[in-house]
Amino acid sequence: MRIAGAWSWRILAIVGVITVFVFLVMQLRLIVIPFLVAILLGALLVPLVDFLHRHRWPRWLAVATAEVGLIAGVGALIYLIVTQIVAGFPDLQERTVTAVDSFKAYLLASPLHLTEAQLSDYLNQLGTAIQQDSQMWISGALSVGSSFGHILTGALLALFATLFILIDGRRIWSWFVGLFPRKARAPIDGAGRAGWVTLTTFVRVQIFVALIDAIGIGIGAVVLQVPLAIPIGIAVFLGSFIPVVGAIVTGLLAAFVALVYNGPVAALVMIGVVLLVQQLEGHVLQPLVMGTAVKVHPLAVVFAVATGGFIAGIPGALFAVPLVAVINVMVAYIARGSWRTNPDPSPEDVASHA
């Protein structure tokens, strides 16, 4: 009983600290989420800046090139997807209404002997279920910024934070480590460096995997002559940053468009293309490309995405896996005592102990 009691109050204390931390993060989400986005962007751009600087580019020019390139790339994606959707949405809306009416007429004439009232009731129940299931994701997305001003402010905060990470990231980290007691600084510093290596690897690999998903599903849409292939490809690319579910959900969007324009056979083929791409990603790309540097068990990935989505909607699902991967590496680094002999771990060191 004494042992159980000792463990119980320690566990309760840890859970209490975590609860308070999550509560504070949720209250400050309009600041925390842009900062987390900036960390991910920094993990992507810092290696590029260091590469340019090693090849005799002035530091300011390397930083400016990375930042401007990021803004130009994101702006180009937004421009493409907005212009394509604006051009194709009226026709998609008209065809969707026609397809729904045709499907209702088929069901009314089918051997199921459904009535108009029953069919309307079933559709209302389906719509309610979808709305309830998606509420946590939508609320999480809206919590990032309930207005255009919030979204614009968050984007500017993320860009400014990314800029300072590129310019002075090492000094910022040194200042943060200096807040801890002297004896704790060495393990904290080494663990942070190991986590940073893991994060940079994760971001690069995730972009590559998202690009493969977008190309594979986009090519399938083009071959099947599905309209809006470019917005579908961009949506798949962005959705793939949420592991496991992102590419599947956005791929089903392609199947829906194929159903509306090309019929059920094309929709089934499109679903087959999405599943094929996902199998290629899960069994070939992830193990081969990502290796062991950010190795997180698939079950942990599923639960991390589900928990993050439940707590914070889409932002929570986006940050869940890199957060779990970084924490896993940092805890393992400190537990092994690697900071005593290897204070500056390399990617190979992190991969060998992941």
Per DSSP, the residues of 198-242 read HHHHHHHHHHHHHHHHHHHHHHHHHHTT-S-HHHHHHHHHHHTTS
The whole-angstrom separation of Cα 215 and Cα 277 is 10
Element (H, E) at 26: helix 2-27
pLDDT, residue 244, reads 62
pLDDT, residue 131, reads 58
pLDDT, residue 162, reads 92
pLDDT, residue 186, reads 87
Write down the number of H helices and E strands in the chain. 11, 0
- For residues 77 and 234, the answer to whether their CB atoms sit within 8 Å is yes
pLDDT less than 50: residues of the chain: 137, 140-145
- For residues 93 and 101, the answer to whether their CB atoms sit within 8 Å is no
pLDDT, residue 145, reads 45
pLDDT, residue 267, reads 85
* Gyration radius of the chain's alpha carbons: 24
pLDDT, residue 218, reads 86
- What pTM, to 2 d.p., does this model score? 0.75
pLDDT, residue 285, reads 65
pLDDT, residue 143, reads 47
Q: Please, which residues have CB within 8 angstroms of residue 260's CB and are 6 or more apart in sequence?
A: 92, 95, 96, 99
DSSP state of 57: -
DSSP state of 98: H
- For residues 197 and 350, the answer to whether their CB atoms sit within 8 Å is yes
The whole-angstrom separation of Cα 98 and Cα 247 is 27
- For residues 349 and 342, the answer to whether their CB atoms sit within 8 Å is yes
The residue type at 283: H
Nearest 10 degrees: Cα torsion 134, 136, 142, 143: -170
C-alpha pair distances (Å), 220 with each of 95, 101, 235, 248, 253: 21, 27, 14, 14, 13
pLDDT, residue 144, reads 44
The whole-angstrom separation of Cα 3 and Cα 335 is 23
CB-based contacts of 8-13 (< 8 A; 24+ apart in sequence): none
The tens digit of pLDDT for each residue in 310-342 reads 777 777 878 888 888 888 888 888 888 877 777
pLDDT, residue 292, reads 52
The tens digit of pLDDT for each residue in 51-64 reads 998 888 898 899 99
